[in-house]
Structure 1
Amino acid sequence: MPDRLRLMLRWVVTLALIVAVFWHLDQARIWAVLRTISPMILLPVFLLTVVQVVVSAWRWRFTLSRLRLSLPLGQAVREYYLATFLNQILPGGVAGDINRAWRSSLETGQRLAAVHGVAIERLSGQVTLAVVVVVALAGLLVSGSLQVTVTGPDSPNALLWIGAGLVILVPAVWLFRSGGKVAAYVRRLTEHLRLALWQWPALPVQVLSSCLVLASYLAVFLLLAASAGFVTGAVDLLLWAALGSFLLLSMVVPLTVAGWGVREGAAAVLWPMAGLPAEQGVAISVGYGVVVLISSLPGLVVLARGTDINR
């Protein structure tokens, strides 16, 4: 399939999912929630995302250093902003990271190590997120805050299981189709994983930095929920943080543009399971997508300045 057609299909899937979610919910209630979010929330959100990008860029730089590559922190921050912006506007959510890996390989002259540096840095964050989601899910199920039952193919909970299947299926299909390519890199990748993740003191550094990045993501989500009046105490805080971590995980599925559609669909399924209106989750999900896009705009400045990685 031509790349241009593949990109167009990603946009079609994104729009179709968003339309489907809004079609099955009360659009007036969604817009009512969105109107309660103050534009002033953009200032603390932007400050949080600055911290998020700086820590992420530092984590990437640390990972590269473990692979014996060097990248100045300021340069890493600029490249991370560019990657974040590209991930927000291009289908799949990984185009920016691919570009980041390619540009750093030009700088270092070590293509495989540069690619692995980006992949391992992202892996560090995704594994941390997965652990948090498992802990949050266990906590919600034990406390009874989340009810998971499958009553039939048309039930919302059945959609949850379908979504979970997609989370497993998509990477499996990718690995199957990549077969020989993946096998060819196993030995080098294993060595790089050992250096960047397991060899002391890499593991605690990766875990701590990834926890800080994840905390900044969740803080943005919680600020939006608090601005809409949904977080009024510790119980609400923990519940919305857990639900927010589920939405972040849903965005890992590389089917749409910046997770749009998949994130809102997950919210429409998860919020009723927690005893909350689906419209609340979808509205905050939409708000989250908008403020994250706005906060990525410094990457547009980097793009506008040109392609020289040292600029």
Structure 2
Amino acid sequence: MLSRIGNSLFWMGRYIERAEHIARYTKVQYVSSLDAPLAQSKDFVLESILSMAGVYYKYFGLYPQLNEEDVINFVTLEETNPFSILSYISGIRENARGTRDCISLELWEAINQCYHRVNSYSAARLQSEGVFRIAKLVEESTSVIKGYIDNTLIRNEVWMLISLGIHLERAIQVSLILLTKIRDIDKIDKEKLGGPVENYQWTTMLKSAESFDMFKRYYAANPNRRNTLEFLIFNPAFPKSISFNLNYIHKSIRDIAFHEKKEAGSINFMAGKMANSFKYMTIEDTEGGLTEFLNKTLKDLYDLANVLEEKYLNF
């Protein structure tokens, strides 16, 4: 396979997962500003959305202050923002176009339909209908796309590279959600910590990662700091946990014929070291340094992606 094709397949997977997570996070956080009696202030929510999407400073470089309409449009439909949902959907389509001979007709049509549906949105329509509808459209469309990836592609390197991109990006996005919500909780009045206001933040964290229902079934308890973090970081059987995705990444890298020596510095070594370190850790091991732990996890994931691209997917 040409490196150019491999790179496009890998980034197609990453953009799919990125668009989905940012759409869901924006929807969940925005709705949380409307709920009663624990509704959060609008500025609190808008800052959280910008931070998770990685555009906090970029936004304030263009706009003098927080404004609901500006923030939502900037994160969702702004064409000049390379980190907007529309830009990611465009990236999915462009990478699919470049690999048209490798993917199924059904997958291409699903991607093309998603692109045209999102691209048809105007700022006026977004303001009229609200963020919930466009976020739901993106969530449903990316779910259909991932369904066609799993159900119409031969299990060869094409499927494996797309899946590798999806699961690597999922681990990154869940890490970003965790870091963003932990920062949000740090902003809460200390007198309210440990009560319903803090627990509400753990609930929105789970909903942002599409994990709330399975969490409730698994623990049969209300979310709190310990069980929420344990579920999203270390649960090896839950597809949205960091641990699950690290195991999947390691398996994918082993299965793809990268033709490298299994030594320190190789992508197989890096992925295996990360995945196995999570197997022998508990949530107690992160106490006192959770933010540092998540930042290191995020850095290791970015380093792994960079090594993969530089060694095998550059063209």
| TM-score, reference length from structure 2 | 0.31
| TM-score, reference length from structure 1 | 0.32
Structure with higher helix content: 1
